[in-house]
Structure 1
């Protein structure tokens, strides 16, 4: 009985750690801004692609893509650490996604010649941008108000899980594969080795992440 009462007192609202209004507003601002920026990414692609095709698309969108992935990846790591702590963050799929964002930018930034990078002229670059924009806009919007984290079973969530995410994973894998096959001036021997290791583990990790996502249904 004593243990039961102690548990009740432990779970009462007075004992739950409250989040300050400022912290809550900043968190919501990040989620809202990230969602709108990813929508802007998809909209920018929709405006540019019919005009310039795959050949000149990187010149009009790649810099924006890289800065957006850096913004979303870094700040999501910060907020995940703030709410979940170090241990839970390191073993979360959110952290894995954000590290992947940072790796993608570090590996495929082509900062001085992205207009001419052959890797970015692939049609998979377009499918990656569209899938990333749609998926992450939906993801950040769903997390705008921090809740239990349970996924609502809607048509949008079904489309995201069974269509958008597989396209995103396959598109990124193909871009990373092209990056290994095509020589460029931004690589180093240790980075080339790392890229090959990433290619080996990329699909199994993506399948595991997708399996976890499907399990929420």
Structure 2
């Protein structure tokens, strides 16, 4: 009789332990899913906020003083959204698949852009940022990224090639983004500043040479 009771207690403990572990796993999965959804929602609206900020500021201050009201926000958004996106990339796709994805190249490109064009102590007077291509870059960046993160929220990145948003992104927004970024990087090389160093100048020139081959390779995957 005692042996039966002991076996019953062991069985009961095992069952309770399995239920606790399964509920914890379910809770963990649910929490991760919610965090992922919140990230996509917040990032979408932050990039839309970037576009709204540009729409409001440009008529008020013009391109001459636009960097003073938007550049710091732009740099922080590009860095922190990319860091979070890399975390989710390696979380869901693993390290090996993550290294082969377009997302990794995009995030590294954002980090590089902020590194060479942050002008953190004098962005209000940076000649490069007063060019028209700076506004084009903001428009292309905000539209492509807000659309990308919004699609990942509901369709895991899948977008019908027949949709208007796909056509706008593929044939207008992305080309505007690529061309304007290249021109900004070119202006940065042509207009040395006190952040420039001989090593950084060589790196910038190498990036300019490789920019369009890499961009076209990634663009073909979009088609």
Alpha-carbon separation, structure 2, partners of 1:164 and 1:33: 21
1:146 Cα deviation (Å)? 5.9
Q: What CA deviation, in whole Å up to 9, does each residue of 1:122-151 have, x standing for no partner? A: 00000000110011000000001363x432
Q: Which residue of 1 aligns with 2:174?
A: 165
Structure 1: give runs of 5+ residues left out of the alignment: 1-16
Alpha-carbon separation, structure 2, partners of 1:52 and 1:150: 39
Does residue 121 of the first structure (1) align with residue 130 of the second (2)? yes
Aligned CA RMSD, in angstroms, stands at 1.4
Provide the TM-score with structure 2 as the length reference: 0.85
Residue 150 of structure 1 aligns to a residue whose secondary structure is: coil
User: Which stretch shows the higher mean deviation, 90-99 or 18-27?
Assistant: 18-27
Larger radius of gyration: 2
Structure 2: give runs of 5+ residues left out of the alignment: 1-24
The 8 Å contact of residues 151 and 158 in structure 2, kept in 1 or not, is answered as no
Larger helix percent? 2
| Structure 1 ranges of 4+ moved more than 4 A | none
Q: Which residue of 2 aligns with 1:89?
A: 98
Alpha-carbon separation, structure 2, partners of 1:73 and 1:119: 23
2:184 to 159, 175, 191: 175
Aligned length: 197
1:186 Cα deviation (Å)? 1.2
Alpha-carbon separation, structure 2, partners of 1:152 and 1:146: 10
1:204 to 213, 217, 220: 213
1:31 to 40, 43, 48: 40
1:99 Cα deviation (Å)? 0.5
